[in-house]
Amino acid sequence: MGLEEKLPSGFLLSTVEQVAGWARRSSVWPATFGLACCAIEMMATGDPRHDFSRWGMERASGSPRQADLMIVAGRVSQKMGPVLRQIYDQMAEPKWVIAMGVCASSGGMFNNYAIVQGVDHIVPVDIYLPGCPPRPEMLLDAILKLHDKIQNTKMGAHRRKEIEELERAKLRALPLLGQSDVPRIEPPRVTQS
């Protein structure tokens, strides 16, 4: 998070992006952080049958300062919210979040006042992983998709350009409802004959 962000756009930056992406993807240290039943499945992902150490992930980091990935494994109660946010803030950039299970993704079955309805109310989420709880294979799939995202993350000038493009695309996108100037397509009338 220093010099590599200030490189000029072009061949050098894309090479650095590739190397950094490979290193970051190959060494994602998860923060030691489990909340509920999903945490049991997360631990099972490290067992001999599934073994996320194949991607260098068995080195769980006790301190958030050295962690790269926060797997929010379980429902987040309102009381846990600030704690979770603090741990996220203590992690060093670049950092990623997987919302594991429906509870972390959207509140799941806990549709009540005590549970945060999706951890994306508190921290930015990279991968939403459904399931109640998701099996270790599903978590591995989420981790592999995150690897793809990490590998293709842009840096420096490229990243700024990407953000700009995404912003423009968002502005251009049409709202889904209430488009007054778009001719309304009537659904075909069903007639009884």
Partner 1 sequence: MTPCTGKEGLAFFGCDPWWLILGKGVVIFAFLLLSVLMCVWAERRVIGRMQLRPGPNRAGPFGLLQPLADGIKGALKEDIVPRKVDKFIFFLAPVLAATPALISFAIIPLGPVVSIAGHKTPLQLTDLPVAVLLVLAMSSVGVYGVVLAGWASRSPYALLGGLRSSAQVISYEIAMGLSFVAVFLYAGSLSTSQIVSAQAGGGTASFFGLFTFDTPSWNAIVLFPSFVIYVFTMMGESNRIPFDLPEGEGELVAGYHTEYSSLKFLMFYLAEYINMVTLSALATTLFLGGWRAPAPISTVWPGANSGWWPLLWFLGKLVLFIFFFIWLRGSLPRVRYDQLMKLGWKVLMPVSLGWILLVATLRALRNNGADTSAYLVVAGAVVLALLAGSFVWDAIKGPPPSAADEPEPERPAEPEPAGAFPVPPLDAPHYHGSHHGKEVPSGLH
> Would you state the structure tokens that stand for residue 22, as one six-digit string?
């490979």
What residues numbered 53-112 form the site for partner 1, per CB under 8 A? 53-56, 58-59, 61-63, 65-66, 68, 90, 92-94
Residues 33, 106: Cα–Cα separation, whole Å: 19
Among 10, 12, 18, 23, binds partner 1 (CB under 8 A): 23
Among 20, 37, 44, 138, binds partner 1 (CB under 8 A): 20
For 136-147, give one letter per residue: b (16+ CB within 10 A) or e: bebbbebbeebb
Among 6, 10, 18, 19, binds partner 1 (CB under 8 A): 19
Among 27, 78, 86, 179, binds partner 1 (CB under 8 A): 27
Residues 189, 126: Cα–Cα separation, whole Å: 43
Which one of 45-53, 102-110, 175-183, 184-192 is the stretch in contact with partner 1 (CB under 8 A)? Answer: 45-53
Burial class from Cβ neighbours inside 10 Å (0-12, 13-18, 19+) for residue 71 reads buried
Sign of CA dihedral 170, 171, 172, 176: positive
Among 10, 12, 22, 137, binds partner 1 (CB under 8 A): 22
Q: Which residues bind partner 1 (CB under 8 A)?
A: 1-2, 4, 19-20, 22-24, 26-27, 32, 47-48, 51, 53-56, 58-59, 61-63, 65-66, 68, 90, 92-94
